[in-house]
Chain A
């Protein structure tokens, strides 16, 4: 063992493995340090037999070890063999706890006290982080474990599960499932309620408790771990229980803290931020490099390429072009001017104001998730009411915004370097106006993910986008006649306010005089009439409120509160009044909006006196729908249970028009006043499912639908992230015999989704098994005639609606006969 290695690579995921293999191939003195007793723990932990995907398919793999799509076992096996063949110097069971020193002589501290010296460090520890450890005396005893692979392998033990989330509950249920194992299972919850777990899991746990299969201890903490005992701290004092094994499932710590402790800076405070990196993956701590998922590249291919590259850079290869170079070159090929990739990157960075501070590496990453396009003077870039959540930047040229839908010639320009389309990005709503190129123009279109990442990681870009959004939203909302200069006072005074779901923004009777614009999310307007608050109306993103008190100086006449987590912009009322004085057109507009709103409120109030029952029902139904996600929906399936005969033709139609798998579960879901919200996608304005998709496979389509494209790798993140449980993981089944041969000869399983057995057996027989991927409702995009579920309902029970159209008095109380 040399005194000092040229490079120490921490973490043996695809990134670390590839780096180590390159170092070995170059004969560079190296060590690969891995915490667990096997290579590549993240992939090791995938479900058995998982089909691992090799996306993006247009990216070439540049690595000394092989990787192609295939079963988890095959991939891990290949890597084990090849790492051996390359004589990579691996040290397993070595968790790095700290890195000190400077470039040229780092000291890497391992758990247990060993140290390793290296000139440079490559960190490839992924984003899984470490499970939270128990913090009580005895927490290092061997009876504690942080993962449970197979609950079936423990017999006759006293086992205590610590943790009240889904993972803990599922483990406890698994351990107690088979009475033959004869385990005595307890679960500890610090609190009285299981608030963090899914209701279904809590119900199962409570049932197991009633049946005496699991002992559930609420408001209880582990106080001390002993060899065969656990001391508990309960509300009524301490208690000692027998305990052979502890399974601690109290969440995990992201690796950020550890990385920062090594002296590495992140781009911002945001949870989604990544370490600041140079083009050669060097961090702000010279000599330490970060690659792979930790650097923000969550796909295996990216990770492996970076492993190769970082070692080449360390080896002094300055000419190495990143592996994504051809992809970028292809993107830029469509642009005029014959410039090289680096030249284009520089043009985009220098010309577009919000990109000014980006490093070349960030530029590359941004461009990979973006589209570039050239337009001729007059070409339409997008049309009013197109759905779209991407944001455009003008790299060269300028564009014209049509301010009046009926008059193409009424336009305002947006100049080079600025952005447009940001409203769709921020609010999740459709494009507000048509935009044309004003001269030959080159645009950069940032996908929603790329734009959000940019806003989160580059604070100055975030501020700039915000300012522009507020300004444009004001101009758009109050129509023509206003200019940037007119609203500048308001924009200056604007304040962004984040509101939690259910939080009041304006309170009935309040004396405050501010005016608000909903930038993200939605609001409900309520008024107390009698003892209960009555629902008056629903306000989607892009609406304003609070103008009544400002205009007529009265107290607030109703309460406005957030239907879901939202963002509103607050403007001082007096600035708005001044603007109204200057602009009579605006004044008129505001007054007429106000009159219309008053009318709706008066209508509901009036009804309250004569038809109190109907108003209560309207109010309760509206609240029920909002509680069930309609407040963030753009298009949601509802079933009127006074009409639904339970024929399930909606589900069958969905399956038959979508690869034989239904994307909706009619029976499941909540019901109020016979209005049923089945388990089916709401096409959220800001889809939770998009949050954490490694290949960025979830997109918003041309009809506003949220859909999953063919790059899905089946990781299941979206399924976990969707609060409405509408995504399922399944494999495309084999084709069924035709309807005619079923009708005439009874061939095949018939209309609708075939049974699991039929799908599995037939696929095996035909040898057409497919990987399990995420599937969800795509709103029947591309199918002429629209949603099949609605078209196939014989009674009219199934309808798809938009919240702002449905949450109205007439729609909710009309009686359907």
Chain B
């Protein structure tokens, strides 16, 4: 017998609060994080430690411990995301907490240093932490702004359909190019043979493809002086160009949405290593 508790739970889910990770549970984690920062900042000025604030005081140790625990927990997001176990967790809640608590680290980590920065492994750890956080902030910005453009650009097409659409235009161009003269045919063939997906990082991120052979081919068919076959090829090339642009915009948005993780994650690993070195060295020289 299905229990009615299950039912109520499922009903609540079906009536779900449709809200993003940023506003999850009315910004619960933002509030917690702000409170945490306020406590840290006020106590920083209230607590009087000798000779001055740095990582080595009891206050510094406290903040350091909180910071390490937070960093470890923040890193576990990568596991949580991929370990689809049973239970009532939601990755959205995790991300929400991750973002806001991660930001709080700016305050906690920096106050932990007591602004004692220099050229050493300790500051390296702090700098890596800041790098991870800065890339994280970039990530949140793109997560909040780009999906809309991604969606508009897709126009209800899947990636596979876009690629198939391009292939369909290409087949038409190949057929239509048969009657063309040698010179024109060569530009068209060059355009068709160019691999759309071999694009450099810069091209992907900017969406600018200066060496695009389709654009070049279009220039080879200037309006006004075309015979019937050329006219047809020219129209098809314009269609190819617009299909190509859609694919490129798609690749651009996806690249912008993903690029930061290529720093965020390796920097996290480096951070954990640096953190380990930092802790070991602190206790070793104690």
Contacts and interface: CB of A to CB of B under 8 A. Distances in A.
Nearest to A639: B151
Interface stretch (A88-96, A260-268, A574-582, A669-677): A669-677
Contact of A671 (B19, B144, B151, B171): B151
B91 A649 contact: yes
Contacts of A640: 18
B147 A210 contact: no
A817 interface: yes
A192 interface: no
B168 to A, nearest CB: 5
Interface stretch (A30-38, A42-50, A302-310, A780-788): A780-788
Interface residues of B, number: 51
Given A383-B4, A800-B14, A649 B81 contact: yes
Given A382-B1, A383-B1, A799-B18, A657 B84 contact: yes
Interface in B1-44: 1-2, 4, 6-7, 9-11, 13-16, 18-24
B200 interface: no
Given A207-B168, A656-B84, A792 B91 contact: yes
Contact of A785 (B83, B87, B154, B158): B87
B189 interface: no
Contacts of B158: 667-668
Interface stretch (A156-164, A384-392, A456-464): A384-392
Given A382-B1, A667-B158, A702-B2, A786 B10 contact: yes
B192 interface: no
B148 interface: yes
A801 B147 contact: no
B82 interface: yes
A653 B2 contact: no
B58 interface: no
A797 B147 contact: yes
Interface in B72-93: 79, 81-84, 86-92
Contacts of A671: 151, 154, 156
Contacts of A816: 18-20, 23
A644 interface: yes
A671 B6 CA distance: 31
Contacts of B199: none
A429 to B, nearest CB: 13
B172 A211 contact: yes
Contacts of B13: 786-787, 790, 800
Interface residues of A, number: 60
Nearest to A742: B82
What is the predominant secondary structure among interface residues of chain A facing chain B? loop
B18 A792 contact: no
B246 interface: no
A176 B85 CA distance: 49
Nearest to B176: A211
A212 interface: yes
A320 interface: no
A628 to B, nearest CB: 11
A641 interface: yes
B198 to A, nearest CB: 21
A646 interface: yes
A801 B148 contact: no
A786 B9 contact: yes
B86 A785 contact: yes
B229 interface: no
B143 interface: yes
A791 B82 CA distance: 11
Contact of A646 (B2, B14, B24, B150): B150
Given A643-B20, A667-B159, A801-B14, A794 B95 contact: yes
Contacts of A211: 171-172, 175
Nearest to A386: B2
A641 B79 CA distance: 25
Nearest to B82: A751
Nearest to A812: B18
A802 B15 contact: yes
Nearest to A791: B90
Most chain A CB within 10 A, of B1, B16, B143, B175, is at B16
Interface of B: 1-2, 4, 6-7, 9-11, 13-16, 18-24, 79, 81-84, 86-92, 94-95, 143-144, 146-148, 150-151, 154, 156, 158-160, 168, 171-172, 175, 254, 257
22 contacts: A383-B1, A430-B7, A645-B147, A646-B257, A739-B79, A786-B88, A788-B84, A791-B90, A791-B91, A793-B92, A794-B21, A794-B94, A796-B24, A796-B92, A797-B147, A800-B16, A801-B15, A802-B15, A816-B18, A816-B20, A817-B20, A817-B23
Interface of A: 207, 210-212, 380, 382-387, 430, 635, 640-646, 649, 652-653, 656-657, 667-668, 670-671, 674, 676, 702-704, 739, 743, 751, 783-788, 790-797, 799-802, 805, 811, 814, 816-817
Given A797-B147, A801-B16, 20 more contacts: A207-B168, A383-B1, A642-B151, A644-B151, A645-B257, A652-B84, A656-B84, A667-B158, A702-B2, A703-B2, A703-B10, A739-B82, A784-B87, A785-B86, A785-B87, A790-B90, A794-B95, A796-B20, A816-B18, A816-B19
